[in-house]
A = this chain, B = another copy of it.
Amino acid sequence: MTISRGPQAFPRSEYLRRLDLVKSDMVQRNIETLVVSNQHDITYLTGYTALSSYVPQALVVSTYEEEPTFILRRMDAPAAIHQCFMERDKIIAYPEALIGNPEMDGYDAAIHYLNDSTTGSLGIGIDQYNLSTATMEKFRTRLPNARIQDCTKAVTWIRGVKSDLEIEIMREAAAISDAAILRAAEVIRPGVREADAAAEIAATLIRGANGKSGTGIQGISLCSSPRTGTCHISWSEDVFRHGSQVNLEIGGSRHGYCAGLMRTYSIGTPSDRLRRVHEIELAGLEAALESVRPGATCSDVANAFDRAIEREGLKKESRCGYAHGIGWTEPTASLKDGDYTELKPNMTFHLMLGNWIDEDFGYALSETIRVTESGVEVLTTAPRKIFEI
């Protein structure tokens, strides 16, 4: 009648280590309780990856308790018991009556829990990143004795520095990304429907690599001529054609972690323009990689890239990367001029050199990288070339 804990991606000690980091941060912020609502932060602190964040759910971290408490919809509680590292009494299921209910929702259940525990009158930090004005108003009104503090992205910043165990999982995801990029080179053919190629790419992302399957699926961007100036659209309903270019962005997924990877394909000989852009971007990639080391800043990496390509007459308006790990983009550090976030060992980034130069012409190249003790490790290993079909 009960569900048991399933295989865990990380040992208990790893979650306790992460929680210690969060609790130290809480002490510095002078709060005893932290309410985490971002699904990727919840994955980081518990192991939970079920697709249930379309309804309210909240993880409550207390400096007085070793394990956090997860308040979520009754329907999803068995998945939480199965996936989370905590004991089952830390999973609190709120009733289905709070779903599709204009008067009350799952955040009311979280507030009820906070009022019921001793924490209702203490300092409560809340990550407001995903919370509407109405929800925040509810927290303030119904916790009148609490000192409520804005802790937006507090956990997101902490998870920016990975452990070696997390890096290992990201390596597994990166191997899957590599496999999908290589598979794309086999299935992109003139006359083939773009959807049929996308189907094979998606299947590869799920089948995985080295005996490790993908454990989820990220969006796939497949932007072919005349759409190579776009970056976030799916495959079209058309077939691939002779002379077309294809920009592909994919990411393998392991236990919530992903590893983004972009490559450009050319059906037939690439144009001189495309080849030239590729050479310049490759030089920019090398310059960016050489600049990555602990103590350098995100801005340093962006400047190294920008200088290298601008020397050759190319510009890229968008940032050249961002913090990357659980759930694709981590909304914290950006590899852009003026972002003085200091690089630390085991920070991971999607070094994203996609360059949408004209409305109808763009180019895709990226790697998932890790800051090491002395420099950089590139986790993705697919050939850095234009794949000629």
Residues on A lying within 8 angstroms of B by beta carbon are: 1-4, 6-7, 49-52, 54, 74-79, 81-83, 95-96, 99-100, 128-134, 136, 152, 193-196, 198-200, 202-204, 206-208, 212-217, 219-221, 226-227, 229-237, 317-319, 322, 328-329, 331, 333-334, 336, 339, 356, 358-360
Contacts and interface: CB of A to CB of B under 8 A. Distances in A.
A318 B6 contact: no
B195 A199 contact: no
A138 to B, nearest CB: 11
A3 B49 contact: no
A-B interface, 9 closest residue pairs, ranked by CB to CB distance from nearest: A100-B334, A195-B213, A199-B203, A79-B230, A199-B206, A50-B232, A3-B359, A203-B203, A78-B229
A242 B331 CA distance: 44
Contacts of A319: 96, 99-100
B131 A132 contact: yes
A221 B51 contact: yes
A131 B322 CA distance: 22
A1 B195 contact: no
Contacts of A81: 359
Contacts of A193: 213
Chain A interface mostly: loop
Contact of A131 (B49, B133, B334, B336): B133
Given A2-B359, A230-B3, A195 B217 contact: no
A274 to B, nearest CB: 15
26 contacts: A1-B358, A3-B226, A3-B227, A7-B237, A50-B230, A50-B232, A51-B219, A51-B221, A51-B234, A54-B331, A75-B231, A78-B227, A78-B359, A82-B227, A82-B233, A96-B318, A100-B322, A100-B331, A100-B336, A129-B132, A130-B132, A131-B132, A196-B213, A199-B202, A199-B203, A212-B237
Nearest to A220: B217
Contacts of A194: 213
Nearest to A231: B75
Contact of A3 (B95, B133, B229, B236): B229
Nearest to A206: B199
B1 A360 contact: yes
A75 B356 contact: yes
